[in-house]
Amino acid sequence: MSLAGALGEKGYDLCFREGHLVILNDLGEALCTGSDIGVPMAQIAERIGRPCVRAHRDGHSGRLWQA
């Protein structure tokens, strides 16, 4: 199971805002970034590669794209 899937089962979501991986609660409010919990996006990208992100129209945020 993916990280996004595991978080989704617990009522959380992942998104990207201003280049940061952000964990959202069930109301869509940002709880923290990956850096806040000790796992910055650069470290994740080193381990599993750059994520495929579908940008929102605002150009400042986006969602993980899964095929």
pLDDT of residue 45: 76
Q: Which helix (H) or strand (E) holds 55?
A: strand 53-55
pLDDT score, position 13: 87
Q: Name residues whose C-beta falls within 8 Å of residue 62's C-beta, 6 or more positions apart in sequence.
A: 15, 16, 53, 54, 55, 56
Q: Is the pLDDT of residue 12 over 80?
A: yes
Taking the C-alpha atoms of residue 22 and residue 33, their distance in angstroms, rounded to an integer, is 4
pLDDT, tens only, 33-60: 888 988 887 887 787 677 777 888 888 8
Least confident of 11-15, 28-32, 57-61: 57-61
> Quick check: helix, strand or coil at residue 66?
coil
- Greater confidence (62 vs 10) lies with 10
